[in-house]
C-alpha cells in the first residue's frame, strides 16, 4: 500500500473519530499553520499482527482538555486534571489506531495494540517525515505519524 493512501486513510479515520467521539471538528481547508508557536503533548501506541508499527499523536493542552470534557461528559467550566487529560489523549489514539488498522487491512485480521503511553517532552513531531500529517481544528494543529515496520 502506498504512503499517499495510508495518509489519506489516516486523515479520514482521525477526522471521523475526533468528530464522532469527541466533537472536535477538523478544518475543511488545507490552510497550514505554523506549529512553532504551540506546545504539544504526545502519546504513542505500537501494534503487531500481519503488520507491525507505531502511531504517534500530538495535541495542545486546550484541545486535549476539550476532548477529555467531551469523553467524560464534563461541563465546559470544569477543570481537567492531568490524569484525565493524558487518559483522554491515549484513548483517542487507541480509537484512531484500531479503526485505521481495520480500514487499511481486512477486518478479519487480528492486530494486538499495546497500551498507549505518554511520550517524553523531548520527543517532538518530525514535520518533514513523510509519515507525518498535520490536521487543524479551529486553526490549532493536530499532528499524527504512522509507521509500519513490515
For the stretch 99-126, pLDDT in tens is 999 999 988 999 999 999 999 988 889 8
Q: What tens digit of pLDDT does each residue of 70-100 get?
A: 999 999 999 999 999 999 999 999 999 999 9
Place of cell 501494534: 47
CATH assignment of the domain containing 26: 3.40.1550.10
How many structural domains are present in the chain? 1
Residues belonging to the chain: 150
**Taking the mean position of all CA atoms in its chain, how far away is CA 22?**
12
Cβ contacts of 138 within 8 Å, gap of 6 or more: 27
Contact present, 25 and 120 (Cβ < 8 Å): no
Q: What is the pLDDT of residue 104?
A: 94
Q: Which domain holds residue 94?
A: 3-148
Amino acid at each position: 500500500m502506498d504512503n499517499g493512501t495510508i495518509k489519506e486513510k489516516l486523515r479520514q479515520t482521525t477526522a471521523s473519530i475526533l468528530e464522532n467521539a469527541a466533537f472536535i471538528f477538523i478544518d475543511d481547508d488545507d490552510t497550514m499553520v505554523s506549529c512553532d508557536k504551540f506546545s504539544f503533548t504526545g502519546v504513542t501506541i505500537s501494534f503487531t499482527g500481519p503488520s507491525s508499527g507505531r502511531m504517534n499523536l500530538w495535541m495542545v493542552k486546550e484541545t486535549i482538555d476539550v476532548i477529555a470534557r467531551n469523553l467524560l461528559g464534563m461541563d465546559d467550566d470544569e477543570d481537567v486534571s492531568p490524569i484525565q487529560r493524558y487518559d483522554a489523549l491515549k484513548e483517542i489514539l487507541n480509537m484512531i489506531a484500531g479503526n485505521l488498522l481495520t480500514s487499511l487491512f481486512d477486518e478479519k485480521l487480528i492486530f494486538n495494540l499495546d497500551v498507549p503511553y505518554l511520550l517524553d517532552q523531548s520527543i517532538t513531531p518530525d514535520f518533514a517525515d513523510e509519515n507525518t500529517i498535520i490536521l487543524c481544528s479551529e486553526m490549532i494543529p493536530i499532528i499524527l505519524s504512522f509507521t509500519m515496520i513490515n
